[in-house]
Structure formats: C-alpha cells, structure tokens
Amino acid sequence: PAMIRPAAKNHDDVLVVVDPADYDEVCDAIESKSVDANLRRRLAWKAFQHCAAYDASVSEWLWDNAGFAEPNSLPPAAVIPVSQSVPLRYGENPHQPAAFYQDDSLRENAGGGVARAVQHHGKEMSYNNYLDADAAYSCVSDIKEDACVIVKHTNPCGAAVVGANRDLLEAYRCAVRADHISAFGGIVAFNTTVDADLAREIREFRSPEDGETRMFYEIVIAPSYTPEGLEVLKGKSKTLRILEAPPRDAARLSWRQVGGGFLAQSADDVTGDTASFEKAAEATATDEQMTDLRLAWTIVKHVKSNAIAVAKDGRLLGMGSGQPNRVNSVRIALEKAGDEAKGASLASDAFFPFSWNDSVEKACQAGVSVIAHPGGSMRDSDAVECCDKYGVALFTTGVRHFKH
C-alpha cells in the first residue's frame, strides 16, 4: 500500500496495476501507445479501492484482536469492504438497477450462507431471490434436526423436521402441506444433503390442491447434494435455481441501511434449543409438546413481526406475519392451522399486550395446549389467569424476537 497509493495519486504519469485481469489491456495499450486518461483514472480508482479494502481489514483485525476493545463491542467507526460478485437484471422492481455485493470483511471469511453459495443450475439469481434464499436458509440452519423449510416473500410458510415416524421426504411433504398455496413459487431449503430420492420427490410432488399440478419453486438450497441427486433435481425445470451453500454461523454482526445511515447489531442467535422456557401457569406440557414449542420458537424468530407460529408433531401448522396488531397474526396462524390447532404449541415473538377476548384467549379457545411468549407486559398476569382457566400451559422466555 505504501507504494500503490502514491502511484495512484500520480496516475497522470504512472500506470498502477493491482488487478491481474488488467495486465493484458495495459500491455496492449502500452505497445500500441494508446494509454489515455480514462485508463489511467480507472486503474487509479482500482488502486485506491484495493488499498481501502486492505486498510479496512487491518482496522477490523485491530479492533477485534488487539486487546484494547471490549469483546463483542461495536466500533465507533467502521469501513466494510464489499465487492460486486453478481450484476443483477434489476432490483426489487424492474425500474431499479441493482447488483449483489459480497462482504469481504474478515468476519465473513468463513461465514457461509447465501453470499458463498454455488449455483449449479437454473436462471440467474434476482434481487428478490437473494432475499428469499437468505431467509429460507437462515431459518432452516437454525433447526437442530434434519429439516425442510419453505419460504415465500421472506416468511417461512412451511416447515417440518425429521423424527421417529418421518424421514426427510415426508418432512418435505409436510412443509408443502402446511400452506401449499404459498409454497407454490417459493424457496425450498434443507439443512442436510439432498440425495436422489429426495430430489425425485421434489421434482415429482404434486400440489395437494388438485393432486396433478407439479409444485413450482424458484430455488432449492441445501448444504450439499449427492451427484445423482443434483442430476435428478436439474430435471425438474430449466429455470429452477439450485444453490449449494455452506452453513452460516448466526453469531455475527448485522448491518441494515436506513436513510442516510446504518444500524448495526449483534445477530439474534437465540433459538428454541438455546432459550430458557420458564413455567408461568399451572398446566404442564408433555415432552412432545415442548419439542414442538421449541420448533415454533425457532421459526417465529424468522417471521416478520407481529409474528405467531403454531407447531405440532414436528411441523409448522400455520403462521401469522407482519400484522400491525398481534391478535390478527394469531387469527391468521390459527386459521391456517385449522382443527389441527388442538393440542398444538404456539409461539409469539413478543409479549401479549392483551389476553382476555384477545390473543391468548383465542388461542386457548382454538385448542392450543402450550403457549410461549417473552413476557414483560404489565398484563402478564392476565395471560396466566386465562391459561389457567382453559388448562393451557404457559411459558415465558425473557427473549424477544422482533423482526422488521
């Protein structure tokens, strides 16, 4: 950097080349005596970008490793090196130019996830594809058991785990059946290898709506595929995007842009397997119901607030997302669950502000057996009394899962 930066400053008289991809062009320009101002400025721009990325990495390492900063503290200033890895046809909508940039910071060297995915097949990825694939893979990666998650517009609409009486093929079927209408055109994610049998099931499975229409998906994403499984899956559609992505470690810094600035926070890495469920009402839950509650708690973390997830027998029955009030999210989740809500476990991403003739009582009246929420409302006692009236087990976690 000590030599590159001064050379870039003097680009009117010096050609500074930091990218091997430019060697041939520069050599040709020198030989043909066609070096012009535009080439000099473009090479200088690349040189400054190169030095800036290097400086950012050094600064990041010093903050994280030199010992003067508190562990996991946020730096007072930060520079994040990013590089364009995929030019996109357009952004969220066709009139918006867009591109996909990879985070080149040291923290992300082995971060895994969608940015490090290999695309084996299908159409080029779109802006919305990246968002949905990230949502699906983040959710399924949080589940400890082998599982399938289906996402539509960044919300999980179907999910199921492998269990004593359910293999991965049946988990996939259960995830589709949770909301087959939303699953059509969605993203299917697995946290384990896709083999030929599973690929064949994905390729041939018919919609529960009519038993004839093959399910259509935008993306299938998994950590690995068997060679035969990959070939079988390619036969589903010429456009199906097949992604292979390394699992992602959730415990990383998260950035989000707002007008004129950025928000930074540590990742929400609390799942149903790491949360503490404190008994708050008289009724107790069975081991099976607690397993379902942990699954619901993990899934609700990935649903847009206000978020409700209802699970039973290791599968998602219904979810309510993005409603301005919690009771409407409860209504939607219970409507999707239908009669299967009886004996199910329900998780709420935040506390219930009201219980009587509201979220908690409606869940109890639908036959839900176990409810979990963070707690912390001034009316928490109402939730306890309501659950005691209906004989429903109630747990608090002390952890909120807002997702905006």
**Which are the catalytic amino acids?**
9, 153
Alpha helices in 90-221 (DSSP H): 127-141, 168-178, 180-183, 196-204
C-alpha count within 13 angstroms, C-beta hemisphere, residue 196: 3
- Token pair in block for residue 278: 């404190």
DSSP 358-402: SHHHHHHHTT--EEEE----TTHHHHHHHHHHHT-EEEE-S----
- C-alpha span between 25 and 364 (Å, rounded): 71
Among 81, 46, 47, which residue's Cα sits nearest to residue 61? 81
- C-alpha span between 353 and 169 (Å, rounded): 40
Geometric angle at alpha carbon 191, from 346 and 72, rounded to 5°: 80
- Angle, helices 168-178/196-204, rounded to nearest 10 degrees: 30
Q: What is the DSSP letter of 163?
A: B
Among 283, 344, 339, which residue's Cα sits nearest to residue 314? 344
Distances 290 to 102, 293, 294, 302, 344 between C-alpha atoms, Å:
39, 5, 6, 19, 10
Q: Which residues pair with 148 in a beta bridge?
A: 160, 190
- C-alpha span between 126 and 134 (Å, rounded): 12
